[in-house]
């Protein structure tokens, strides 16, 4: 069994690197990134962490270990029935950003690409999330220069929090991944992705050395995950923002996964109380939010 996670859109997580360059959630003015806070507590004490969050460390061997985790193809998940029947879904980099500037492409090729395409690694789907999709695109170009296709079972994802950060999705769309996804969590304002979700592409990039026939178009982005912020200092998340993203997905034929309401969810100006941390347990969501109980995943995985 792998490293289990309660995150609703995956089964497990793995970190080929630890530490990060930072983003809007971790900088001189704000320190709210969960991974950064854990580094502040355990960095320099626990060898699994970087000495400081700003100091990138490489952890070769973790991806190979993850590749050897049990095969979940066709398995049922009691706690996450929306994943039933899928392969093991492994979140790559929940405690780091492996596309941080000091991580060499040679390392990402040997540690990430070679393990996800190994005989064991191919049994799983790997969901690689970054806030540096421009560097992910450069990494893809590096692979292309070596004659290597983007692995079919390696999803490429980026995180957005506000409308200005949506520019990341334009970079993401340049990556040759079969499945691209957007994580809009923590959602800190209304986000309009409709123009980007309407982009359709012809899937023809080579993967595992084979080329798929150019027969039909698909949405360039196949999944949007959305959720409010967790924690005592969470920013508010308006239900209208979540509903808007849900409608944008439905209009574009893109899978929509409402992960959580967050700890400061607002509906019509009124706080929606949740007992469960982060508001993930939809059994306690009020009836007026029943339409948001939607946790879709792309089925072409
Ligand atoms: S990019 Fe991700 S890991 Fe890095 S500081 Fe931001 S939220 Fe944290």
Three state DSSP letters for the chain? CCCECCCCCCCEEECCEEECCCECCECCCCECCHHHHHHHHHCCCCCCCCCCCCCCEECCCHHHHHHCCCCCCCCCCCCCHHHCCCCCEEEECCCECCCCCCCCHHHHHHHHHHHHCCCCHHHCEEEEEECCHHHHHHHHHHHHHCCCCCCCCEEEEEECCCHHHHHHHHHHCCCCCCCEEEEECCCCCCCCCHHHHCCEEECCCEECCEECCCCCEEECCCEEEEECCCCCCCCCEEHHHHHHHHHHHHHHCCEEEEEECCCCEEECCEECCCCCHHHCCHHHCCHHHHHHCCECCCCCC
Among protein residues, the one whose CA lies closest to atom 8 of ligand 1: 33
Please tell me the predicted confidence (pLDDT) of residue 47.
82
Give the global pTM. 0.95
Tens digit of pLDDT per residue, the chain (301 long)?
348 999 999 999 999 999 999 999 999 999 999 999 999 999 888 889 999 999 999 999 999 999 999 999 999 999 999 999 999 999 999 999 999 999 999 999 999 999 999 999 999 999 999 999 999 999 999 999 999 999 999 999 999 999 999 999 999 999 999 999 999 999 999 999 999 999 998 865 444 444 454 557 899 999 999 999 999 889 999 999 999 999 999 999 999 999 999 999 999 999 998 888 899 999 999 999 999 999 999 976 5
124 lines ligand 1 (CB under 6 A): no
Please tell me the predicted confidence (pLDDT) of residue 214.
53
For residue 173, the CA-to-ligand 1 centroid distance in Å is 20
Please tell me the predicted confidence (pLDDT) of residue 60.
97
Please tell me the predicted confidence (pLDDT) of residue 52.
94
Please tell me the predicted confidence (pLDDT) of residue 2.
47
Please tell me the predicted confidence (pLDDT) of residue 301.
56
Please tell me the predicted confidence (pLDDT) of residue 1.
38
> Atom of ligand 1 at shortest distance to CA of 129?
2
33 lines ligand 1 (CB under 6 A): yes
> Atom of ligand 1 at shortest distance to CA of 23?
6
Please tell me the predicted confidence (pLDDT) of residue 200.
92
160 lines ligand 1 (CB under 6 A): no
């Amino acid at each position: 069994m792998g490293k289990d996670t309660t995150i609703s859109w995956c089964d497990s997580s793995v970190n080929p690197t630890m530490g990060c360059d930072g983003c809007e959630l971790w900088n001189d003015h704000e320190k709210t990134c969960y991974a950064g806070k854990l580094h502040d507590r355990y960095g320099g004490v626990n060898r699994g962490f970087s000495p400081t969050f700003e100091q990138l460390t490489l952890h070769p061997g973790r991806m190979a270990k993850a590749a050897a985790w049990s095969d979940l193809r066709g398995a049922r998940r009691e706690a996450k029935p929306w994943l039933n029947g899928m392969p093991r879904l492994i979140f790559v980099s929940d405690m780091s950003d492996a596309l941080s500037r000091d991580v060499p492409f040679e390392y990402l090729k040997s540690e990430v690409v070679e393990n996800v395409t190994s005989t064991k690694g191919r049994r799983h789907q790997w969901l690689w999330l970054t806030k540096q999709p421009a560097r992910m695109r450069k990494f893809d170009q590096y692979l292309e220069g070596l004659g290597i296709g983007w692995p079919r079972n390696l999803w490429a994802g980026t995180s957005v929090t506000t409308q200005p950060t949506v520019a990341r999705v334009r970079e993401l769309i340049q990556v040759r991944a079969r499945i691209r996804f957007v994580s809009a969590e923590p959602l800190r304002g209304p986000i309009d992705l409709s123009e980007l979700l309407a982009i359709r592409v012809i899937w023809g990039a080579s993967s595992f050395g084979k080329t798929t026939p150019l027969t039909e178009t698909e949405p360039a982005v196949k999944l949007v995950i959305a959720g409010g912020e967790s924690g005592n200092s969470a920013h508010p998340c308006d239900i209208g923002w979540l509903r808007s993203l849900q409608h944008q997905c439905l209009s574009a034929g893109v899978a929509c996964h409402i992960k959580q309401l967050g700890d400061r969810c607002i509906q019509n100006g009124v706080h929606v109380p949740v007992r469960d941390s982060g508001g993930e347990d939809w059994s306690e969501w009020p009836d007026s939010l029943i339409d948001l109980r939607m946790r879709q995943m792309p089925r072409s995985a």
